[in-house]
Structure 1
Amino acid sequence: SILTGLFPPTSGTAFILGKDIRSELSAIRQNLGVCPQHNVLFDLLTVEEHIWFYARLKGLPEKKVKEEMEQMIMDVGLPHKLKARTSKLSGGMQRKLSVALAFVGGSKVVILDEPTAGVDPYSRRGIWELLLKYRQGRTIILSTHHMDEADILGDRIAIISHGKLCCVGSSLFLKNQLGTGYYLTLVKK
């Protein structure tokens, strides 16, 4: 919430793309994409209208909006839902759209708060594929409670407990340092 400018820091500061969040938030927001924990979709707008709205909000020129919209619709797997209101989409489709909207306008830094929370396994995998496709050339900060998700999607993983940073490293490093290795054996009778 502090990195996105929702709340000011109580002390200290943070830098995004070399810009101070306390004094250069407007410049940061031009390159920042955010997907909060809960979908921020307008029930009366269509999938197409959402992408158009967020692209224009980010300052994308009118000519580039259509091009980006077509690509994003294909990447999200919703070409058949282009004209559908988001209130008519399944929960998984709504979540995929919300995640994709964070990347609209070429966001260089993307903050995703539990992007796969509450979706079915198929939609979860679709969101993973979307993130893997869009991660090139971007910094993605993703919060999750699923270690398998962090393992697949993260180059570096930070574990936070009770508001404090416990450890940071690659998946392999964390497994070597912290993995205790439990085995479960099931026997069918």
Structure 2
Amino acid sequence: ALNKLSLNLYENQVVSFLGHNGAGKTTTMSILTGLFPPTSGSATIYGHDIRTEMDEIRKNLGMCPQHNVLFDRLTVEEHLWFYSQLKSMAEEEIRKEMDKMIEDLELSNKRHSLVQTLSGGMKRKLSVAIAFVGGSRAVILDEPTAGVDPYARRAIWDLILKYKPGERRRAERGVAPQAVVALASDETVPLPGRTILLSTHHMDEADLLGDRIAIISHGKLKCCGSPLFLKSTYGDGYKLTVVKKQ
């Protein structure tokens, strides 16, 4: 259960949601995706309230659950096609996006293979890719690298970073990030782009992928900030003194 959790997610940023088992990460994501209704408080995604406007939210929402939800008798291509159709994309756009995504996934040779023939790492990469199809602007990834080998884990990292557009361009223009997902906060005005919330148990993954890291424990937000800020504020660190003899 969550306990007075208040958090803003900003456009064109990855927020790493870090916490132990049972900390409340999956509960938070389930509330944001409409799986569980909140018993109190509020949450908005791109200005739409999750209590009353989930139909609008789902048009721009992509989700990778903690466990793969795939159809054994469909191919890789058919999965991407099916979920793109749910977002009401034009057929020509679907084809272009699907070709690029399959190439990015390094699954070109498995394009027409049934999902039941894929390895665990390949299935996980496909689940992550499904969250991004159809131009999803709010992407929620629940432990996307769980149960995969180091090679597949690195490939998933690369995919997440590749589909997080606009950060450098916006920084060069001096445009400040704007809150588009808000828990227990006021409604905000969105800008075009993408926002990613990623839960993980791994500190290295949170550090590498996250523009900000939010640490949750027993349903409470303990701290939130950039990796550098958290290290400088809370990190004990080690000191090494080197003395050179003349």
Deviation readout 1:17-67 (Å, 9 max, x if unpaired): 011111111001000000000011100000010001000011112222111
Shift of 1:121: 0.4
- The one-letter code of the counterpart of 2:47 is G
Corresponding residue for 1:69?
98
Superposition deviation, residue 138 in structure 1: 1.0
Query: Structure 2: which amino acid aligns with 1:153?
Result: L
Match of 2:134 in 1: 105
What residue is the counterpart of 2:171 in the other structure?
none
How far does residue 182 in structure 1 lie from its aligned partner after superposition?
5.8
Match of 1:28 in 2: 57
Identity %: 69
Aligned twin of 1:165: 221
**Paired residue total:** 183
Amino acid at match of 1:86: V
Alignment match of 1:80 (pick from 109, 113, 120):
109
1:40 and 2:96 are equivalent in the alignment: no
SS in structure 2 of the partner of residue 111 of structure 1 = strand
TM-score (norm 1): 0.94
Partner of 1:18: 47
Distance 1:25 1:13 in 2: 13
1:90 aligns with 2:119: yes
Give me the whole-angstrom Cα distance separating, in 2, the residues matched to 1:115 and 1:65: 23
Q: What corresponds to 1:187 in structure 2?
A: none
Q: Distance in 1 between matches of 2:237 and 2:75?
A: 47
Q: Which runs of 5+ in 2 are unaligned?
A: 1-29, 166-192, 240-246
Cα distance between partner residues in 1 of 2:65 and 2:238: 34
Whichever residue aligns with residue 75 of structure 2, its letter is T
After the TM superposition, which segments of 4 or more aligned residues of structure 1 sit over 3 Å from their partners? none
In structure 2, C-alpha distance between the alignment counterparts of 1:182 and 1:18, rounded to whole Å:
44
Distance 1:38 1:182, change over 3 A: farther
1:120 deviates by 0.4
CA distance in 2, matches of 1:178, 1:130: 30
2:237 to 177, 181, 184: 181
- Please report the RMSD computed on the Cα atoms of aligned residues, expressed in angstroms: 1.0
Residue 180 of structure 1: CA displacement?
2.0
When normalised by structure 2's length, the TM-score is 0.73
Instruction: Give 3-state SS (helix, strand or coil) of 1:42's partner.
Output: coil
Distance in 1, matches of 2:161 and 2:57, equals 23
In structure 1, C-alpha distance between the alignment counterparts of 2:205 and 2:220, rounded to whole Å: 21
Q: Give the match for residue 200 of structure 2.
A: 144
In the aligned structure 2, how far is the partner of 1:126 from the partner of 1:44? 25
Q: Which structure 2 residues correspond to residues 47-62 of structure 1 after superposition, within 5 A?
A: 47-62=76-91
Deviations 1:87-110 (A, max 9, x none): 111100100000000000000000
SS in 2 for 1:102: helix
Matched, 1:128 2:184: no
Deviation at 1:128, TM superposition (A): 0.3
- 1-structure distance, mates of 2:110, 2:120: 14
After TM superposition, give the deviation of residue 163 of structure 1 in Å.
1.3
Q: In structure 2, what is the Cα distance between the partners aligned to 1:139 and 1:65?
A: 21
Q: Which runs of 5 or more residues in structure 1 are unaligned?
A: 184-189
